[in-house]
Structure 1
Amino acid sequence: MTAHKEHLGEEHDALVKRGQSHVPDEKTAKELSELFKVVSDPTRIKILWAIGGGEVCVCCISELLGMSVSAVSHQLKTLRQAHLVKARREGRNIYYSLDDHHVKILLDVLLEHMEE
């Protein structure tokens, strides 16, 4: 038994038990890590903010960010695979929006945290 554990006694066991209920399992931790990797790219962050207010077509995102349509499409594919954005086709145009309200909440909370 470590000196620290001896010092805390039962409190140590309670702290460990409480921690175990909050720490995600290995699969969940890996999935969260992959999601953070997706949103760690500055271009993808800009795209998420660009469509945060509602549906936007690729050509508008391209113009807004000063990127080629193909470069934007490539990033949107990654965001779609991570279930952060969804697409809707109308004729020849594809419109993108955030997959659900949780994505907007995530962006808002991260920005709020950064600004503190």
Structure 2
Amino acid sequence: MGSEPQHATSPAPDAPSLVHQVAPGPQLLETAAGTLRMLAEPTRLHLLWQLAEGPKSVTELAQASTVPRTVVSQHLAKLRLSGLVDTHRNGRHIIYSLHDGHLVRLIRETINHADHRLTGEPTHD
């Protein structure tokens, strides 16, 4: 086996795939670790949490954060360069959104997992 992921099944071309059966090789593991490193910073995780609810401008994200707008912009630039967020222009505003549904689910599950750890709520599947 090479460093490329081995897909056990392929979804129909028009059907979204929520789970991919893969055998993680070095390249896939490094890419996944890079994503997790980007999530490992609380301000970035909070921005991604907000974007999991839908696209937002820098202004909207800064208003919901506890950090200055310049800090929000710096974190968004890192997230964009890492491929976790996409942008599009709406008039004079740049609108940020999460790149895909896998990331939305990862963010939500990460926050929910932390909530269980903090509150002692029983775990579940």
TM-score by length of 2: 0.68
Give the deviation of 1:91 after TM superposition: 2.1
Conserved? CA contact 2:85–2:97, under 8 Å = yes
Instruction: Name the residue aligned to 1:13.
Output: none
The change in CA–CA distance for 1:111 and 1:64 in structure 2 (over 3 A counts) is closer
Gaps of 5+ in 2: 1-21, 117-122
- Alpha-carbon distance in 2 for matches of 1:83, 1:47: 14
Go from structure 1 to structure 2 and tell me whether the alpha carbon gap of 1:67 and 1:112 turns closer, same or farther (over 3 Å shift): closer
**Which amino acid is 1:53 matched to?**
E
Matched, 1:75 2:68: no
Partner of 1:51, secondary structure, is helix
Letter in 1 for 2:107: L
Deviations 1:26-56 (A, max 9, x none): 2222222111111100000100111211111
The range that moved more, 94-103 or 40-49, is: 94-103
Q: Which has the higher helix share?
A: 1
Please tell me the residue identity of whatever aligns with 1:100. Answer: D
- Counterpart residue type for residue 49 of structure 1: W
User: CA deviation digits over 1:91-116, x for unaligned, max 9?
Assistant: 22111111111111111222333313
Pairwise mapping of residues 89-100 of structure 1 onto structure 2 (< 5 A)?
A: 89-100=89-100
Which amino acid in the other structure matches residue 85 of structure 2? V
Taking the aligned partners of 1:113 and 1:68, their CA distance within structure 2 comes to 28
Task: With the length of structure 1 as denominator, give the TM-score of the two structures.
Answer: 0.72
After superposition, where does 1:2-81 map in structure 2 within 5 Å? 24-81=24-81
Identity %: 27
SS in 2 for 1:105: helix
Task: Quote the offset at 1:59 in angstroms.
Answer: 0.9
Aligned to 1:84: 84
Q: Compute the displacement of 1:23 (Å).
A: 5.7
